[in-house]
Amino acid sequence: MSYLFKPQNYDPILTLQQTEVGISKIKEFFQSNLSSELRLRRVTAPLFVLRGTGINDDLNGVERAVNFPIKDMGDARAEVVHSLAKWKRLTLAAYGVENGYGIYTDMNAIRADEELGNLHSLYVDQWDWERVMTAEERTIDFLKSIVRSIYASFLRTEYLVSESFPAIKPCLPAEITFIHAEELRQLYPTLTPKERETEFTRIHKAVFVIGIGGPLGDGQKHDGRAPDYDDWTTVAENGLAGLNGDILFWNPVLELAFEVSSMGIRVDKAALLRQLEMEGKSDRLNMYFHKRLAEGSLPLSIGGGIGQSRLCMFFLRKAHIGEIQSSIWPAEMYKECQKLNIILM
């Protein structure tokens, strides 16, 4: 079911032509900065992978991948990627990328089961990145250091936008705030996970929520996460489990917590076995990706995705992702957006 946030008295700061210029500036500038910050080289990514290999991202485990038969391969079915979380790790191994270096790519996907609205589209575009790391770096401190490096790229991009379009004023704080999902639950015990994110991000403006995917103190998850890429069960130095998380900004147009990135330290063999068992998915150990990981032929890594349209939407102060990208929307949403002065591409 689609849902539309309706900002009051919305008046786009930029024209359609200015918006296109802004999108181009942001994408070119940010990916260059991200590459420099994390020492990443650009690679070419697939739009689809073979079904049954375990390479496609399982997301929350319920989303259906768009798929089709391949005539010249006996109608073997291919799936449009949900993301490239596992493919990137295979690519690090194939390219022999050294420790401390990594890759990034433009990921394009179709997610037919998305709930369409201001933040979600059928079409997903993001920078997917992955970097080789050591066993000693599998710590919460290392995770935080990578988050801070990414945030530095966000700050520089925000400055570029404000210089290019003076009517858009910077709003991100100098530092990003870290909090574990369990700490967030204890801080707001009567609220839902999304409500907790909203209240905390309203105060701190830029937040990284740690530990997403595993059960919290009340037995519930903050949010779903596939069991075979991010490590959400390893216990860190503070006694709380989780080496992954989400970057959230306070969106001044929609007045809500706005996710721009999901990322984390990836599972090692022990975490993979543990999380597959917890989720009742141990049968995946027969798949190509999981066999490679269990046998130790894939490097330890940290990685994530950063939404391209999401980032442009935030920095250009847009109320709907359809003001950034061309997609398909319900007829009623088109009508409502016209009334709200939201011009969908």
**Residue 301 sits in a domain of what CATH number?**
3.30.930.10
Catalytic residue among 121, 262, 275, 327: 262
Catalytic residue among 121, 126, 275, 309: 126
pTM for the complete prediction? 0.91
32 given a catalytic annotation: no
57 given a catalytic annotation: yes
**CA distances, 9 to each of 29, 230, 254, 257, 342 (Å):** 31, 40, 11, 20, 11
Q: Hey, is 59 helix, strand or coil?
A: coil
Q: Give DSSP secondary structure letters for 279-334.
A: TT-GGGGGSHHHHHHHHT-S--EEEEEEEHHHHHHHHTT-S-GGGTS-----HHHH
The whole-number pLDDT of residue 151 equals 98
Which residues in the chain come in under a pLDDT of 70?
Answer: 1-2, 57-62
Catalytic residue among 158, 182, 259, 323: 259
Query: How many domains does the chain divide into?
Result: 1
275 given a catalytic annotation: no
Strand pairing of 256-265 and 301-307? antiparallel
* Gap between the Cα atoms of 252 and 80, Å rounded: 34
255 found inside a domain: yes
164 found inside a domain: yes
Catalytic residue among 31, 35, 83, 111: 111
pLDDT digit string, tens, across residues 142-190: 999 999 999 999 999 999 999 999 999 999 999 999 999 999 999 999 9
Residue with tokens 């181009």: 24
345 found inside a domain: no
60 found inside a domain: no
206 found inside a domain: yes
The whole-number pLDDT of residue 195 equals 95
The whole-number pLDDT of residue 1 equals 47
63 found inside a domain: no
Range of the domain at 144: 16-45+81-339
68 found inside a domain: no
Catalytic residue among 137, 228, 230, 246: 246
74 found inside a domain: no
309 given a catalytic annotation: no
List the beta bridge partners of residue 127.
106, 306
